[in-house]
A and B are shown apart, each in its own frame.
Chain A
């Protein structure tokens, strides 16, 4: 049996993506983005461990405008993944499967992610 040409789930191109499906695929995409973000975290700690000179160059790189915008994006992506992950944990426990509650929890995830992102940057900037 050849399995190479078999369509694989989840069939992203086949279905119209309703809101709940969008939150689902966003969970995966955000996970991939956060894996990339983890590289920056390691880079930051390694630079600090290597001494003042390398920390200074890492600081100026991470403090640059493009990197700060990327950090803002990463903060939102992190809190999206965190909130949506909690939503998944509730599903794992058997709660919130009804269409209406799945929609509501998805909206709550977005609101929560926005609020926590704002809160995090408020702490950083104040």
Chain B
């Protein structure tokens, strides 16, 4: 402790040129989600009540499959960033807060991967 200068202690804890990266990523994913979500709602609404074959054909068509895969990635990244801010604001216990943030990040990665895997499986006809 005594050997470390105040500067050494402060380094890496503050906004060392990436302080706005969370904020920026949140906005970037938000902008991306606007067309993606409009497309998704129209797609799902237009296919409402469709049978298995029609649904598979819709999900598996090249454009839809790519957009859906991108959507899953952007959606869960955006969600994990947003949920993190909420946890940071409302969970005052440091350990619980950190645990929840880690859980949200891992869960988001798992769900995004599951969604993308399902889309690829359908698109490749497996």
Contact = CB atoms under 8 A, between A and B. Distances in A.
Interface of A: 3-6, 8-10, 28, 31-32, 34-35, 38-39, 41-42, 45-46, 48-49, 52, 55-56, 59, 63, 75, 78, 82, 85-86, 88-89, 92, 116, 120-121, 123-125
A79 B31 CA distance: 14
Contact of B89 (A8, A48, A124): A8
Contacts of A85: 30, 33-34
Interface residues of B, number: 39
B37 A78 contact: yes
Most chain A beta carbons < 10 A, residue from B38, B82, B90 = B82
A125 B48 contact: yes
B111 A42 contact: yes
Contact of B79 (A10, A35, A55): A35
Residues of B contacting A: mostly: helix
Residues of A contacting B: mostly: helix
A8 B90 contact: yes
Interface in B96-119: 111, 114-115, 117-119
A84 B16 CA distance: 31
A38 B76 contact: yes
Q: Which 3 residue pairs across A and B have the least CB separation, nearest first?
A: A49-B118, A124-B45, A123-B45
Most chain B beta carbons < 10 A, residue from A9, A38, A120, A125 = A38
A42 B72 contact: yes
A86 B34 contact: yes
Given A45-B59, A45-B115, A48-B52, A92 B37 contact: no
A32 B72 CA distance: 16
B41 interface: yes
B61 interface: no
Contacts of A32: 83, 86
A92 B31 CA distance: 12
Contacts of B41: 75, 78, 116, 120
A52 B54 CA distance: 11
Contact of A55 (B31, B52, B90, B94): B52
Given A35-B79, A48-B122, A4 B52 contact: no
Nearest to A48: B55
Contacts of B119: 45, 49
